[in-house]
Chains A and B, each alone.
Chain A
Amino acid sequence: MDHPETATPLELSEQSRQRIADIIDRYPTGQSALMPCIWVIQEEIGWIPPAAIDHLVDTLGVTRARVHELLTFYTMFRTEKPAQYVLEVCQNISCHVLGAREIIAHLEKRLGIRIGEATPDGKFALHGVECLGACGHGPMLQLGKHFYEYLTPEKVDDLLENLRKDVVPRADTDRHLEEDA
């Protein structure tokens, strides 16, 4: 099959390839396996490059349009390489009432960027997002798989200082990592 979009071949670990094979095995149709397979690739690479789309088309027997449909409808899927640390701040009602606006202003000041922008060095991006299900724990932000909650300007400073040194501090939702250790 001819793939005009592809510039470089997809580099995917054996582990992710195995995960994709397991998903195809468990889901009743190739198309129903598409969303979890996109996740496997994004969790390893951080985004969905054109070569990944080719891979999904070939592996699952779905159309290219179907893959693009999912990539553009669901806001968590990324079709461009993201910043190293994407800070997603909730700006919905509960967090708003609890002071999200001040936290966003503080983040913008400290990072020197506005909501929706990334720092020129590609280290940080700042996004405003809708309710993340941490309403009684606001204001809050999401970084990767975890939530930083009950934010104050001091807590934000501490987080940024650590991330600048490439240390990801323990998140409020990290507790099980210690329990299960």
Chain B
Amino acid sequence: MSREECKILSARFGRPDGHRLKVYEAEGGYQALRQVLGERQPDEVIEAVKESGLRGRGGAGFPTGVKWGFVPKDADQVYFFVNADESEPGTFKDRYLMDYDPHQMIEGTIISSYAVRANLAFIYIRGEFGWLIDRVQKAVDEAYAAGYLGKDILGRGYDLDMIVHKGAGAYICGEETGLINSVTGTKGQPSIKPPFPAVSGFLGKPTIVNNVETVAAVPWIMIHGAEAYRAHGTEKSAGTKLWSVSGPVKNQGVFEVPLGIPFADFYRDHLGGMRDGEEFKACIVGGSSVPVLTADEMMGCNLDYESLQEAGTMLGSGGMIMIPKSADMVELIKVLMHFYWDESCGQCTPCREGTGWLHRLIGKLLKGEGVPDDLDLLDKVCEGMGGLTICPLADAAVMPMQSFLQRFRAEFEARIHETATPGSPSRWARGE
């Protein structure tokens, strides 16, 4: 399949005028909305999205239509949230979707809100994307003026308000309950699930939170049908995926490809290999929170949910960080552990304290003060964090930490000085 054939989401990427309503309409924009509103029942839309196999593109990969189906049919009020808090290190695809094609996201949000019978939608954009917030707000204003938002949309009897909500610098708000709590006007600390937001979310009402890339695929699915969408990708990983690629490769950027293609082909055809003088050592394929793989492991993988899971990692957000041989893995994990320590919201002890321990222990290694027990202690701290907290932030720190240790242990061992005088090890370190 050629590159052009699978441009479901990225048709207007890189174009100077793709964000304009007139351009979007001229290229078939808002036709899906016209076909859906008043023509198909909300449940038919949910069914079509279920059949398409579309899965959440924020990281978890949960089937979108199934999530929508959890909203109680007799709910008096439902809210729809678009998660545009894109903060996962290595990920910058939603930025492209909003920068080059905000109306595609807006149309997808209107149809998705209609499917779950929501009358108020929030687009939660991370506060650092200042210029993008202006751009999306302008597009929302255009959509209101054209009658695609507001009361009695297109005269079809459906009302939807849309609010662009500006975040203020907290990674944790990308977790769906943290995001909902943030809009409620509190700290963005996640809540225990269940109850799931689809049953009890914003202000206690059913709330659906979907990633930008997820809703952006919905208009195409409505126009072309579930079967056409499934024609891309694999049986379980349907459709296309945006990969945000960073690192010293020849071509960085955001690439849309069908799910399931071999990484080796993607690396050769899209990334063009590493820059001259750099050698490919490792890859964090799905944003910083997934396990790192070696270059050899990556070269044997296909880019879909199942293949990456089999290989010991996860597709995540599709934030592909390409690591060159010149990079020091101990330094890199220090950068990541600083991030998780900095961004831990602080409500669960294993995460709040554990991320600090990991960060300090790596710092100790880098200062040349590491002792052999420290590597075991890193593992022990990880064991005390994974799966023990309200949200997955602790796991998100543990997965890179453990995989870096496992796959690049020699680099960590090289930082240990056998002659260093151990301090008084804690009871935890001694395993008591």
Contacts and interface: CB of A to CB of B under 8 A. Distances in A.
Q: Do A and B bind each other?
A: yes
Interface of A: 26-36, 38-39, 62, 66, 69-70, 73-77, 91-94, 96-98, 130-138, 142, 144-147, 171, 173-176, 179-180
A42 B197 CA distance: 31
Contact of A97 (B86, B94, B254, B321): B321
A131 B332 contact: no
Nearest to A179: B16
A29 B90 CA distance: 35
Contacts of B170: 73-75
B247 A97 contact: yes
A130 B131 contact: no
B177 to A, nearest CB: 15
Given A29-B185, A69-B186, A94-B321, A136 B131 contact: no
Interface of B: 16-17, 19, 86-92, 94-95, 99, 120, 126-132, 134-135, 138, 161, 163, 165-171, 182-188, 203, 244-248, 252-254, 284, 288, 319, 321-324, 327, 331-332, 335-336, 339, 342-343, 345
A171 to B, nearest CB: 8
Nearest to B322: A97
A131 B130 contact: no
B319 A135 contact: yes
Contacts of A77: 168-169
30 contacts: A26-B161, A29-B203, A35-B166, A70-B185, A73-B188, A74-B127, A76-B167, A77-B168, A92-B335, A94-B321, A96-B331, A96-B332, A97-B247, A97-B321, A97-B322, A130-B87, A130-B89, A131-B89, A131-B288, A132-B128, A133-B86, A133-B91, A133-B129, A135-B321, A136-B253, A136-B254, A145-B131, A171-B131, A173-B131, A176-B99
A28 B203 contact: yes
Contacts of B284: 93
A137 B91 CA distance: 11
B120 A94 contact: no
A34 B87 contact: no
Nearest to B168: A74
Contacts of A180: 138
Contacts of B167: 74, 76
A146 B168 contact: no
Nearest to B331: A96
Given A28-B203, A133-B126, A174-B131, A93 B321 contact: yes
A93 B335 CA distance: 6
Contact of B168 (A29, A75, A131, A147): A75
A173 to B, nearest CB: 5
Given A28-B120, A73-B170, A97-B321, A130 B339 contact: yes
Nearest to A38: B168
Contacts of A66: 185-186
A175 B19 CA distance: 12
A36 B126 contact: no
B90 A137 contact: no
Q: Rank and list the top 6 A-B pairs by shortest CB-CB distance, nearest first.
A: A145-B130, A74-B168, A31-B185, A136-B252, A135-B246, A76-B169
Contacts of A35: 165-166, 168, 182-183, 185
